[in-house]
Amino acid sequence: MRIFHLSHTDLDGYGAQFVSKFYLDNILFFNSNYGKEIDDKFEQILSLVQPKDLVLITDLNLTLQQCEAYEMKLKEKDVKIILLDHHQSGLECAKKYAWYFLDNSRCATSITHDFLAEIYGKDEKLHKFSKVVNAVDIWLNDESEFELGKVCLGLVSNAKEINKIMFDEKSREFIFYILEKSQEFFDKQNAHIALDNATHFIKKEFFKKEKDDTLSNLISTFIVDMLSQNRAKFEIGYEDKKGILTYNIGNTSVIGNDFLVANPDMDFFIDVTSRKTLSFRANGNANVSLMAKNLVGGGGHVNASGGLYNGFKDGYRYEVIKAQIVDLIAKKTQEKEMKDER
């Protein structure tokens, strides 16, 4: 039996997965914010499940329509579903569906911990972790763990160094690493201050491979390595040139240049963002100012240009994002060829 664990994208959502990772084997993780993304992630899960698998949903409340649809589709595949949540907005669903467990007195991490600890046995370290998350998630500001919980909340919300759309598993691994390391401070004096002071070094330890460097440089090297290892997935073409497409990669100038230096056979680097902007980078092998002009009416320098793609629709999966840029290139290339023939 495999377990497909879908959870929210905040401390409580990842915290619930951190707990299930401790207790369970053969588990695949998915994270979603609210809205259409939940349905998108469910469809991904549905395409992977097999009979006797289990879908576990935490820290996400569903609508009645979603409950009905999910139950029906999973029943057809002989797959069980359990939902553990604490949002009062799910009360109507909890009354109708036996698999929908709701308890608004505890956060999802605490519910998940107590549920699994009852089956597999209590772990004191993990119990403390669930109390820290609970204190901040349901805002128990008189609890001793509250300030520590606030620091952990910030650790997860600010863990944007690895883009989760492009590198979903690695992004989650990074967050789990931070949560694991945070536990080392729980019993220290002024634990919240000690953890806050150590945050920079915790992140550096994750990204550091051999020699030390600034956090920014370590992150750039790490991301460039990830892009290089998976370049076939990100590769796109433009006329007789080849490059890669990233999404919300951040620090485009540094990462784009570092990638092109590490991959001299690649001609250009494009980053598209949720704000519809396109950033183009080259290292002497392509004129990206012309590329930006032809594709989106943008421009700039030969090796660094930009533009706005008004038709871009943000998405939850890299494949959907890449398809839009590939279609744009195909359309504009065809238009240019027809114009040149006249």
> In a 3-state reduction of DSSP, which class is residue 327?
helix
Give me the mean pLDDT over the 73-87 stretch.
Answer: 97
Q: How far apart are CA 291 and CA 333, in angstroms?
A: 10
CATH 3.10.310 fits 231-341, yes or no: yes
The H or E element containing residue 323 is helix 318-341
- In this predicted structure, the answer to whether residue 342 has a pLDDT above a threshold of 70 is no
User: Residue 15: which of 165, 202, 144, 159 has the closest Cα?
Assistant: 159
CATH 3.10.310 domain position(s) in the chain:
231-341
Contacts of 182 (CB under 8 A, 6+ apart): 151, 152, 155, 195, 202
Share of the chain above pLDDT 70, in %: 99
pTM, to two decimals: 0.94
Tell me the per-residue pLDDT of 18-70, one tens digit each, with 9 for 90 and over. Answer: 999 999 999 999 999 998 899 999 999 999 999 999 999 999 999 999 999 99
Return the CATH number of the domain spanning residue range 3-158.
Answer: 3.90.1640.30
Q: Is the pLDDT of residue 341 over 90?
A: no
Ranges for all domains in the chain classified under CATH 3.90.1640.30: 3-158
**Confidence class for position 206, pLDDT limits 50, 70, 90:** very high
